[in-house]
Structure 1
Amino acid sequence: MLRNDKKSITTFMLPASILLLVFMVLPFLMAFGLSFTNQRLIESPRGTQFVGLTNYVRALGDNLFRTGLTNNAIFVLVVVPLQTALALALAILVNIKVKGNKFFRVIYFIPTVTTMVVVSVIWSFLYHPDGLINGFLTSITFGAWDGIDFLNNTTTAFPSIMLMSMWQGVGFQMLIFLAALQEIPDSFYEAADIDGANTWQQFLYITLPQLKNTTTFVIISTTILAFRLFTQVYVMTNGGPQNSTYTAMLHIYNMAFKRLNIGYSSALTVIFFLIILVISIIQRIALNDTEEEV
């Protein structure tokens, strides 16, 4: 019986393992190898040469890469906690057993299944000086609001992308929290009611502790997705204005496909991957320590 179980597990894991190997592990190993060369997208007459740590040394002094990492860090620090909290709040709301709650689940989830390119184009129109957002603000202020170009303003461009990103992605995290909420036994809340616990106390001492593993997963996965910020920036601002929305992924793309420098972009990719890996490990350790204290 145990042998059959092992065969079943292997059978189910094999397709995913092959995909992981082909589309993630092997490309990373290839990028790691190319990062020590001067490989170009279009082969140079001299051919590919080994350059050692030259690309990594160059990356350390790359001001645009540092700007991208800084913007990525700001994006993560703002979006991850806000999106996680909003997803939990929405999950609690749609988990209430009232008529029509399934309709709201679908409404909140629709942006998630819409491709980011489409969402970015739509929100670009919304953010236009003559767009719906400026028109709405002008209407509610009786003309006092002077319409601005959100995406061409260094002050508003990045917050605008943050808002759109949270709107597009929150439905996915909401669904994960919703599944976890429905696994919490009703008997826990019934016992709390008998003991006289109010709604807030039930949330603090029942809901949150029961969601600790789910919250850890959501925070780490959202952080990884936030660091991968690229599509919305590429479509909406292309890193501008004045590099206020420039990101590490956009810089890697520019080095690879605009500057045609595959070797250098591979080195940037390896560095970026290691940064995300370290942050994810730190998050995991910190969240586990918090859970143990609770």
Structure 2
Amino acid sequence: MALVMSFTRTGLDLDAPLQFIGLANLRRLSTDPLFLKVLSTTFLYLLGVVPPMVAGSLGLAVLLNRALPGIHWLRGAFYTPVLVSVVVAAIAFRWIYAENGLLNGWAGYLLGNNYKAIGFLSDPKLALIAVMFVTLWKGIGYYMVIFLAGLQGISKDLYEAAELDGSRGWRQHLDITLPLMRPYVALVAVISSIAATKVFEEVFLLTQGGPADSTRTVVYYVYDLAFQELDISYACAAGLALFLVVLLLSLLQQGLKGSGLPKLQD
């Protein structure tokens, strides 16, 4: 229905007959400076989240893939943020990021009276980075588990053989771990890219798209159009554009699966 409505002019009365206007909404979308801005912000968000998420979760999985006393508790500790409600996390990080909050308090204590409090959520140059960090904190444990599953499927005999050939320490991870984990890296990169493209909760709870639209992403823009400005059909057109982006990423995932990528069930 949303697909149909993107080619219509829809008012508040959803029971009224649809007025088909063809590609007018899509043409408007292609020249809308705010939509182009939120599209670029979403792309920046993807670039700022996905590479650190992949590298961080893989590195964490390598460190925790050891038979050490209490290692299961340590793995559970890193996975705990995944279980924390987004609302709870947002409340905590709003306090941490506040000008009289934890980060500025620690910095002021260390740097003295000359320290000027930083507005992490009120500075357009820092707000998007602050929101990205919350996404990383929430998601890194989830992808760590995927990498752990892959690491535990690698035979220890390979590492022993590599050690006999002179490959030791981190060199073994370059020679064995990374090549064998390549399908899992591709999987995590694709699904984290899809998740980053559809980010909404962190933006809604932390910044409401501000300041100066610096954190307004495509999904938040669709929400604003539909539920704040009540421009339903135009919101559907923006949602269609987002659907096409996610579809491309999903097709990429399917293509990678066909080349040996492991399957991840919902």
Same structural fold, with TM-score higher than 0.5 when normalized by the shorter chain: yes
Task: Name the CA shift for 1:53/1:251 in 2 (closer, same or farther; >3 Å).
Answer: same
Identity of aligned residues (%): 34
Residue in 2 that maps onto 1:231: 201
Q: Kindly report which structure 2 residues correspond to 1:152-231, keeping only aligned pairs within 5 A, or say none.
A: 152-231=122-201
Q: Kindly report which structure 2 residues correspond to 1:1-294, keeping only aligned pairs within 5 A, or say none.
A: 30-40=1-11, 42-43=12-13, 47-281=17-251
Task: Name the CA shift for 1:199/1:258 in 2 (closer, same or farther; >3 Å).
Answer: same
Q: Which moved more, 1:213-222 or 1:192-201?
A: 192-201
> Unaligned regions of 5+ residues in structure 2, if any?
262-266
1:153–1:241 CA contact under 8 A, matched in 2 = yes
2:194–2:249 CA contact under 8 A, matched in 1 = no
Which letter does structure 2 place at the counterpart of 1:33? V
Give RMSD over aligned pairs: 2.2
Task: Name the CA shift for 1:44/1:104 in 2 (closer, same or farther; >3 Å).
Answer: closer
CA-to-aligned-CA distance 1:34-79 (integer Å, 9 cap, x gap): 1111123x20796431111111111111111111111111111111
Which letter does structure 2 place at the counterpart of 1:114? V
Secondary structure of 2:19's aligned partner: coil
Report which of the two has the higher share of helix.
1
Whole-angstrom distance in 1 between the partners of 2:15 and 2:253:
46
Q: How far 1:198 moved relative to its partner?
A: 1.6
2:197–2:246 CA contact under 8 A, matched in 1 = yes
Q: How far 1:269 moved relative to its partner?
A: 0.8
Secondary structure of 1:151's aligned partner: coil
Whole-angstrom distance in 2 between the partners of 1:37 and 1:132:
49
Task: Name the CA shift for 1:265/1:97 in 2 (closer, same or farther; >3 Å).
Answer: same
Task: Name the CA shift for 1:184/1:73 in 2 (closer, same or farther; >3 Å).
Answer: same
Whole-angstrom distance in 2 between the partners of 1:195 and 1:45:
73
Q: Which moved more, 1:243-252 or 1:139-148?
A: 139-148
1:157–1:244 CA contact under 8 A, matched in 2 = yes
> Unaligned regions of 5+ residues in structure 1, if any?
1-29
| TM value normalised by structure 2 | 0.91
| TM value normalised by structure 1 | 0.83
Secondary structure of 2:210's aligned partner: coil
1:229–1:247 CA contact under 8 A, matched in 2 = yes
Which letter does structure 2 place at the counterpart of 1:220? V
Whole-angstrom distance in 2 between the partners of 1:283 and 1:39:
35
Whole-angstrom distance in 2 between the partners of 1:154 and 1:197:
47
1:216–1:287 CA contact under 8 A, matched in 2 = no
Secondary structure of 1:192's aligned partner: helix
Whole-angstrom distance in 1 between the partners of 2:46 and 2:257:
16
Whole-angstrom distance in 1 between the partners of 2:14 and 2:55:
51
